[in-house]
Structure formats: structure tokens, C-alpha cells
Amino acid sequence: MKKAAGNRVTAVRIVEAAVQLFSRQGYKGTRTREIAHLAGVNEATLFRYFSRKADLFWAAAESRLTRLKLGRELQNGLASDVSPDVVVPMLVEFVVNVVAQYPELMRLVYVAGFELPGFDRMFREHLGPIFDAVNGYFGRCAARGAIRDLEPTFATLGLAAAVGAHRDLHRFLTGRDLPDDARAMAPSYAQFWLDALRQPSPAVPNHTVTD
């Protein structure tokens, strides 16, 4: 039992080291020797746990993907078609919390998309149910007129991408970090998306009288 527990601890250390290095340096830019060094093991030990570098990358990505769970209140709001005024702020808070708690995840997604073929299967497996729940919600909202008539994937992916990428792109393009408390920006994100999704106000007829 002690040996099994020790093996699990070693595997976790290797995976956590892989998460840090793959997210910072990319797949091709990271050597297994570096991962082993950061994990405090030799490279031979690393390969006893993960026979291929690709297997280690997927283990690293999965270690973060499995942590993504919609809260019960948000799940119920989506399934029950609660008003966007209630659900959109909860969605924004979910994305903000993911970015704040798991900053490596977005970078691992980018790395997989650009450097590894076949990555979509794993990401669909873990993110597909979340995507389907949110996308279905926006589709039903559009159908009943609760939001403007738009392709639901535009709202689903646009919200996730805009909120998720804002911090990294802001740093990249301005050289400055956003405030440390990402949650403080959630109300602004939510208001922006509520304004963007609302039905446009009907045009007011012009009753100007001319001679």
C-alpha cells in the first residue's frame, strides 16, 4: 500500500511539472528531461510512468480538464431556461473562476491546437457537455426572443473566448497586467454581454411635421 501511494505521489509530481512546463514552453519546446528535473525524478523514472511524451501531455491536460464542473445553480439555470439576466452573470463568473484558478488550461488548449493533431477528441470529451448545455440554452433563448436572433455558437464561444483570453491578450498587447482580482471584473464582463445579447430596441417613428 505504501508503495502504491508513493507511486501515485510521484505520478502527480510528474504531471504537475508537465503542466507548468508545457503551458509555458509549448509541447515542442519542452524536453522530458526538464519535466523530470522539475518533478525531482530522473528521466528513466518519468518514462516508467509515461512511455511517450504525448501521453504525458494528455495526462497534464486531463488533470485540468477534469476539474471543470458547472455549479448546480448554473446547471439548473441553463436547463430551466432562466432569464439571461440571471444566467449570463453566472456563466461569466464560471469562466472568470476557471481562468483565475487554472491559468495553465487555456495555454494547454492553445498548445494542443497548434502543435498536436487529434487533440479535439479529448477536449470534446471533457468540454463537450458544458458547451452543449450553454449552446442549447442560448439557442432556446434566441428562439423565444429572450435575446437577439443569432447563431448560438457565437454567444457561447464568443463569451468564453473574450473573457478567457482578455487577461493574456491584455498583457501581450499593452505590457501591463489586469488587476489581480479577476473576479472584480466579472460584473463588467456580464454587463457587456447582456447588452450585446439583448434584442435591439424598436426604432422610434419620426413624427416630424413638414409644411
Rounded CA-CA distance 200/148 in Å is 7
Architecture of the CATH domain 67-197: Orthogonal Bundle (1.10)
3-state secondary structure of 17: helix
> What is the signed CA dihedral for 90, 94, 96, 101, rounded to 10 degrees?
150
Rounded CA-CA distance 19/102 in Å is 10
- Judge if pTM exceeds 0.85: no
Task: Tell me whether domains 2-61 and 67-197 share a fold.
Answer: no
Identify whether the C-beta of residue 106 lies closer than 8 Å to the C-beta of residue 113. Answer: no
Q: Identity (one letter) of the amino acid at 29? A: G
- Alpha-carbon distances of 103 from 79, 168, 182, 188, rounded to whole Å: 28, 9, 12, 20
Could you tell me the residue ranges of all domains in the chain? 2-61, 67-197
Q: Which of 146, 132, 156 is nearest to 86 (CA)?
A: 146
Rounded CA-CA distance 166/108 in Å is 16
Q: Which of 61, 66, 48 is nearest to 11 (CA)?
A: 48
Q: Which of 99, 101, 111 is nearest to 21 (CA)?
A: 111
- Alpha-carbon distances of 201 from 84, 146, 147, 197, rounded to whole Å: 17, 13, 12, 12
Side-chain half-sphere CA neighbours of 31 within 13 A: 5
Rounded CA-CA distance 111/23 in Å is 7
Architecture of the CATH domain 2-61: Orthogonal Bundle (1.10)
pLDDT in tens, the chain (211 residues): 455 556 789 999 999 999 999 999 999 999 999 999 999 999 999 999 999 999 999 999 999 999 899 999 999 999 999 999 999 999 999 999 888 888 888 889 888 888 887 777 777 888 899 999 999 999 999 999 999 999 999 999 999 888 877 777 777 788 787 766 667 888 999 999 999 999 876 655 665 555 4
